[in-house]
Structure 1
């Protein structure tokens, strides 16, 4: 059960499950492009059934019926999530219907359906068309949107045939396989589809990279235009920043995100992207707090407006196994045009973070400057000779500590991904709480020793970096117990972030992350 509390200036959210904060807003700021001032939205954090009913499905293909039965079970569970609220739009996570962990193209193939291209003037409504009886996932999603009178965004698998003689890129099995977002309007009509451009690691063994870097948008019956991209795409310039160039203010983000401390934590990266771009971000994540594949753990969904967390969900509590289960995160009045400060925001707080498991980002090859005094200025720099980029970072701080917390400040320029489709280089200036209080080598490791708590309060904080001129610098600020903090507590510059005067915050980390190098 939730309790409500009204605040005006407090920056750290209460540990209650629900919190309402009333804040000032820019009443005069409107965008004539959008017809409605607000809309009711939901994202679903969801854990699908653990595996299809066929053994070794990752390697040995299921039959088409086995795959369809598995996906329909997940759809039935997702459908139940929508019975709780009256909504304008709902978003399901990446791989929530099909599942994941396919090791080759043949094993994924039974989970794919042929999705028509959306063409102006052509109405495609699977719910009303018997030609889609052989594509039960599309038909059920279309009918679900009709039943609930909402726009529905889901992530599915698309198969598109090709002919090698006319398409030199046609795969040897004569079809393309895509990770695909589909959008249905309140009548069940297919509004848009998007092929994920940037596949994450093992995805490429069973899927093709989306071939278009163009920004896919759709306009809803309630007068708001949305763009969309998927999971790993968020770290790249295209297509995400194409929406910013086109002044699209509402973004859909299905994801299956495994968090890494300190700057790749799901909800904090979601907030940081929304904050920097000043857009609404609707982020739906999968839920696996017990690893189903090596050390991959996933939790953290939310709805953000210009960085303000209108509602978010982060928990270490595992949904019941082996059954599919979800959590609906709703906001009844997302401002169609993000405001500098929303009229109010409703926070669903972390339910139980003690069992959250995440990886750390190793800084073994980079200098780590320990915060040895309660006040000081620290510089850190790193040169990547391959990229011919040097990052110089500066930290100014004052802190009060009632314990033995160890913090370090580091600079790094990192080559994360060399795949030609996914070249990813980033630079970061990062303040981190170290895992072990007396071990400098643990700085950047996941926080296991003392959990996600700190005894240190920062009364002054400013981080700056000399990022390349064309970089988009994303802030990620992690509060005590993994709290998502209010942007109003900070001043965010192009290459800096500063704690506002008079504000005191318990922080686990504060980072400025920027994609650098080619293709940006």
Structure 2
């Protein structure tokens, strides 16, 4: 009996050691901002061989990043949306670039069995890159699924086409396939899945979820992956064009990570002429690595260490703001446009001060102190509580401190990426009607401020030290998902937004 007892203990200890060894507390993550090689503009589809030649050119560049990341010890690498074939397609011209991507439940390693599901050269190459370098590879490509045109849901050409993310594990196995739910305007080459897909997979270094670009602004699948599926890390291939002052890629993606309490791996395309840049590795407490570059044409590999299971403290976003007694503002309010939305602003008149500004149900409070009050720069503090209706419809509540483009107050809210005024301190809060609030701090030349601010449990965005650079934006970006399609979103309000869009600027600034 004694021998059996010792053998049982030894076996249990061995199992415990194996389990401990197979579970990692931290991991090295990688994202690659890719300067994609674009196809030639054409109204007619190219041949499959021509399409494959272009995709292999891009895969050659991605391979360099994947191999480099693996050699440095990365466990997973994310590459951008449209990173294999570029942008600017019609439904017909994208078709030669598509492959049939099976459900991961088929238990398939394309590198070992490339012909199992027909011609799948891109999946084969991605699988082999993952397997040969022992790294998880995340990529974006196009999926095609035949359908019967007698089905009312089937497109007239007899096929569904999806903007698709794929994940291959370190053995080369296909472990995830996600079809983008929230298609952005201009993506007419792709179909929308009939139901949102909530795609997750488990690894020795945490549970992962995945979605794409424009998905981040909506509840499904993005929020549900965190709140219901309890993922630790989000994978985010994107082709994001910056919209300053409050939707720059690194600004909003890092804010989403902090607001939702998850790791966030964002890989963007690199096309500076289109304001496409901004990738990062973000933890809930602070960015770990980020890249924003509008001066060069090269791609960029980022690596950073993350906790496999990050912790996150709950925030009551209205606790502090609702306790503040509003006093009549000493500064006259004015209206100005931020990305087609009409904000209510007050100008910051002094080197320090306290301001409250309200719009509809939202009241925003600010305490601040500048390092100096310059005559050649104007800062404003504003609030927006309403339905955004241009290039997508989504309900926002935003409190924002921003630098105006010029000293003319009508330019407050216009895109500006340089500033000269540093802040000694700031404290920002608002009476938000949602628990989904994303804290943003953006410095001059579109840089983040890691470790320089925090969110308190009572809902204040507060500085921890004087800012390391001049301030562009300090904001709280709230989303009221339940009001996106509310019946009280009047046609008059939408018409007013469209008039603003046409009068303020003829140029459409899109996200992704």
TM, length-normalised to structure 2 = 0.80
* C-alpha contact (below 8 Å) 1:81/1:326 kept by paired residues: no
* C-alpha contact (below 8 Å) 2:397/2:477 kept by paired residues: yes
> Which of 285, 292, 314 does residue 292 from structure 2 map onto?
314
Which residue matches 1:38? 26
Deviation at 1:174, TM superposition (A): 1.3
* C-alpha contact (below 8 Å) 2:201/2:208 kept by paired residues: yes
* C-alpha contact (below 8 Å) 2:263/2:310 kept by paired residues: yes
* C-alpha contact (below 8 Å) 1:418/1:424 kept by paired residues: no
Which residue matches 2:369? 398
Which residue matches 1:338? 310
Stretch of structure 1 that moved more, 188-197 or 391-400: 391-400
Which residue matches 2:218? 236
Which residue matches 1:118? 104
Deviation at 1:50, TM superposition (A): 2.9
- What does residue range 241-260 of structure 1 map to in structure 2 within 5 Å? 241-245=223-227, 246-260=229-243
SS at structure 1 position matched to 2:288:
strand
Could you tell me how far apart the structure 2 residues matched to 1:229 and 1:443 are? 33
Which residue matches 1:80? 64
Deviation at 1:474, TM superposition (A): 0.7
Which residue matches 1:452? 418
C-alpha RMSD of the superposition: 2.4
SS at structure 2 position matched to 1:94:
coil
Asked whether 1:329 is paired with 2:302, we answer: yes
Deviation at 1:370, TM superposition (A): 0.7
Instruction: Render the CA deviation track for 1:241-293: whole Å, top value 9, x for unaligned.
Output: 112222211110111111111110111111111111221111101001013xx
- What does residue range 43-442 of structure 1 map to in structure 2 within 5 Å? 43-52=31-40, 56-57=41-42, 59-85=43-69, 86=71, 87-102=74-89, 104-119=90-105, 122-131=106-115, 134-165=119-150, 167-203=151-187, 205-220=188-203, 222-245=204-227, 246-291=229-274, 297-319=275-297, 325-331=298-304, 333-338=305-310, 361-362=338-339, 365-383=342-360, 390-401=361-372, 403-404=374-375, 405-417=377-389, 423-436=393-406, 438-442=407-411
> Which ranges in structure 2 are unaligned for 5 or more consecutive residues?
1-19, 314-336, 485-512
Deviation at 1:363, TM superposition (A): 6.5
Could you tell me how far apart the structure 2 residues matched to 1:169 and 1:519 are? 28
Could you tell me how far apart the structure 2 residues matched to 1:106 and 1:503 are? 54
Could you tell me how far apart the structure 2 residues matched to 1:290 and 1:473 are? 31
Deviation at 1:491, TM superposition (A): 2.9
Could you tell me how far apart the structure 2 residues matched to 1:518 and 1:111 are? 37
Structure with the greater relative contact order (CA < 8 A, sep ≥ 6): 1 or 2? 1
Could you tell me how far apart the structure 1 residues matched to 2:156 and 2:45 are? 18
* C-alpha contact (below 8 Å) 2:429/2:460 kept by paired residues: yes
Question: How many residues end up aligned between the 2 structures?
Answer: 435
Deviation at 1:316, TM superposition (A): 1.4
SS at structure 1 position matched to 2:258:
helix
* C-alpha contact (below 8 Å) 2:365/2:430 kept by paired residues: yes
Deviation at 1:232, TM superposition (A): 0.8
* C-alpha contact (below 8 Å) 2:33/2:79 kept by paired residues: yes
Instruction: Render the CA deviation track for 1:15-48: whole Å, top value 9, x for unaligned.
Output: xxxxxxxxxxxxxxxxx99921111221000011
TM, length-normalised to structure 1 = 0.78
Q: Go from structure 1 to structure 2 and tell me whether the alpha carbon gap of 1:175 and 1:88 turns closer, same or farther (over 3 Å shift).
A: same
Instruction: Render the CA deviation track for 1:321-354: whole Å, top value 9, x for unaligned.
Output: xxxx5211112x321122579xxxxxxxxxxxxx
> Which ranges in structure 1 are unaligned for 5 or more consecutive residues?
1-31, 292-296, 320-324, 342-359, 384-389
* C-alpha contact (below 8 Å) 2:30/2:303 kept by paired residues: yes
Could you tell me how far apart the structure 2 residues matched to 1:382 and 1:195 are? 37
Which residue matches 1:345? none
Could you tell me how far apart the structure 2 residues matched to 1:517 and 1:315 are? 32
* C-alpha contact (below 8 Å) 2:114/2:124 kept by paired residues: no
* C-alpha contact (below 8 Å) 2:143/2:162 kept by paired residues: yes
SS at structure 2 position matched to 1:260:
coil
Could you tell me how far apart the structure 1 residues matched to 2:373 and 2:363 are? 31
- Structure with higher helix content: 2
Deviation at 1:90, TM superposition (A): 0.8
Which residue matches 2:316? none
Instruction: Render the CA deviation track for 1:290-322: whole Å, top value 9, x for unaligned.
Output: 13xxxxx21011111114211111111231xxx
